[in-house]
Chains A and B, each alone.
Chain A
Amino acid sequence: MYHLYLVKGIGGRIGFGIATNIKDRNKHYSSHSGDIVTFPVIYGGLRSHAKAIEKTIKNELSDHIWYVDDWKTEWLDKKYDETFLENFVSKTIEEKHCKLKIIHRNYNFTLDNS
């Protein structure tokens, strides 16, 4: 199982990413941020589908991406919230018939006993 996740930064900014091990990834965000970081939505499914949707986000939302100088990040401009991104991703998954499903909401590693 591969994952496509939405991530909410400590300051409220919304971002996205893909990972095999979601628990490790969440720990990394948390250790960098100095606080527990939440993944508001995690989609699970085929690796190729998660990667394809991540590319679609980067391309179709290219005007909404947050840049640090010339560095293109995997975070959106602050005016876009998690509902906006979740709606975009879920609609894309549905319309493109992707094999990805929501498997967690409001996830963080402290809630994961696996």
Chain B
Amino acid sequence: MPATAASMVAQAMTQELIYQTVPRKPNPMVNINPLKRGSGKTVTLADRVIELEKTAAWKKNIKQWQEEQTLFDMNRLPKVARVPLGDLLIDEDVQRPLDEKHCAKIAKPGPFDPALLQTLQCIKRSDGKFVSTDGQHTGAVLSALLNAGVAGNINWKTFLFNVQYIETDDLAFARRAFSVLNGKGKKRQSAYQLLRNDVYIIRIDGNTSDEEEVIIEKKVSIAESNECFPVEEDSPLCKYPSTFTNIATFKTMTNEEIDLSTKWHNKYFHRDPIHVSLFFIFKDLCRDFNSAKLPITEKLLEELAGLIQNLFVDLSQYSSSAKEAYNRWHKNRYGYLGSWNDDAYACGLLHLYKKFKGQEKLPLTLLDRFDDLINFFDEDLLNLAA
């Protein structure tokens, strides 16, 4: 049957939806993935001292100490003591109010482990009284558990517990110490370090007693089975294909969403690091297609990959272009630049899919949003559909 002019045009339009295979290269991450196994390595403190002393920042620091000819006061080092819990005071102007729900949560049988109780931080006043500056929840939980008799017949008031203290009457010190002990100036664990801990507890220690750790490790395993790897932000591993750093978004995804998104990445964009938009797009696709009871077909997945390849080369560039389009759209509609909305990744992509005559069924919930965003993508791209 001879092709009509209309069908020929439609056929020409869909050229932009055709994905062309990209040669696969071996991904070094398959072998060097740090989550696969621990390094098994321990170092001495002396090793760390050598490492520290090599750095320019440390040398500069010490030079300043030497120039100022100052010595730090060894008497200011904290001391340790065992103090009856019943003798401890809590300064309510220094510490937060007691969080009873927090106490109840950490004292639950099962998760509660006395080995994780930390030394209480105190000042010792000139009248000999110990005032807690940090750790009131630990002290309160332990005392109340002992009082309840769950550790046997122990008088909590006379029970000796470890405190670390400074001798001072200066409450300004106590307030500052509370801020420091509760995070101010502390190097916090990154999202990746927390994830790595969860994974190592399962993989290296073989301990599956914490449900949340098991769930996280499973998510990582699914991504790894599709040759996709979480890595630390700004680490040298970020340059490798199929690595991602946005752990927070990754953790919000269901196993099915992780599987579909990482499989898609590994099939079509295996040469590129993973842009976080992958997770936002697939979360939205899975949830909206599911609500609309529409299937995410293999054809759709391949055509979306083709669209990204033909118009943007990769997902990272799609994301930059989508953000530029979104800014222009927002300025045009509301008269000022608005903050980015992650939902626009999926919506923009599906608008483009329609523009380039994609035929698969799409949920209207995604097409109705940012309805004329499509008009704000680069003109040279839109001309390809003209």
Enumerate chain A interface residues (CB-CB to B < 8 A): 2, 46-49, 51-53, 55-56, 59-60, 62-63, 95-99
Is the beta-carbon distance between B239 and A51 smaller than 8 angstroms?
Answer: no
Contact of A59 among B20, B239, B320 (CB under 8 A): B239
A56 to chain B, nearest CB (A): 8
9 A-B pairs, CB-CB below 8 angstroms? A48-B311, A52-B314, A53-B313, A56-B272, A60-B239, A63-B239, A95-B271, A96-B313, A98-B313
Residues of A contacting B292 with CB < 8 Å? none
Report B-chain residues with C-beta under 8 Å of the C-beta of A95.
22-23, 271
B348 at the interface (CB under 8 A from A): no
Interface pair A47/B378, CB less than 8 Å apart:
yes
Query: Are A51 and B320 in contact, CB atoms less than 8 angstroms apart?
Result: yes
Determine whether the beta carbon of B273 is less than 8 Å from that of A48.
no
User: CB within 8 Å of A: which of B10-38?
Assistant: 20, 22-23
Interface of A: prevailing SS: helix
| Closest CB in chain B relative to A47 CB, distance in Å | 6
0 or 1 for each of B318-333: is its CB under 8 Å from A? (1 = yes): 1011000000000000
Extra pairs beyond A49-B317, A51-B320, A56-B314 (16, CB < 8 Å): A48-B317, A48-B321, A48-B378, A48-B381, A51-B317, A52-B314, A52-B317, A55-B316, A55-B317, A59-B238, A59-B273, A60-B239, A95-B22, A95-B271, A97-B309, A97-B310
Chain A residues whose CB sits within 8 angstroms of the CB of B309 once the complex forms? 96-97
How far apart are the CA atoms of A69 and B206 in the complex, in Å?
A: 44
B312 adjacent to chain A (CB < 8 Å): yes
How far is A2 from B381 in the complex, measured between Cα atoms in Å?
12
Nearest CB of chain A from residue B85's CB, rounded to whole Å: 51
| B212 contacts partner chain A, Cβ-Cβ < 8 Å | no
Task: List residues of chain B with CB within 8 A of the CB of A63.
Answer: 239
Q: How far is the CA of A57 from the CA of B309 in the complex (A)?
A: 17
Judge whether A46 and B380 touch: CB under 8 Å: yes
Known interface pairs A95-B23, A96-B271; A52-B381 also in contact (CB < 8 Å):
no
Give the contact-size bracket for chain B. 20 to 34
Q: How far is the CB of B329 from chain A (nearest CB, A)?
A: 17
A54 closest partner in B (C-beta)? B317
User: Is A96 in contact with B312, judged by CB distance below 8 angstroms?
Assistant: no
Question: Residue of A at shortest CB range from B377?
Answer: A48
Residues of B within 8 A of A99 (CB): 310
Chain A residues within an 8 Å CB radius of B320:
51
Contacts of A96 in B (CB 8 A): 22, 271, 309, 313-314
Q: Is the CB of A97 within 8 A of B381?
A: no
B239:A52 contact, CB within 8 angstroms: no
Residue of A nearest to B19 (CB): A97
Chain A residues whose C-beta falls within 8 Å of the C-beta of B316 in the assembled complex: 52, 55
Contact A48 B23 (CB under 8 A): no
A93 to chain B, nearest CB (A): 9
- In the bound complex, residues from chain B placing their C-beta under 8 Å from that of A60 are 239
Which B residues touch A59, using CB under 8 A? 238-239, 273
Q: Which of B22, B271, B312 contacts A48 (CB 8 A)?
A: B312
Closest to A46 in B: B380
CB contacts (< 8 Å) of B238 on chain A: these are 59
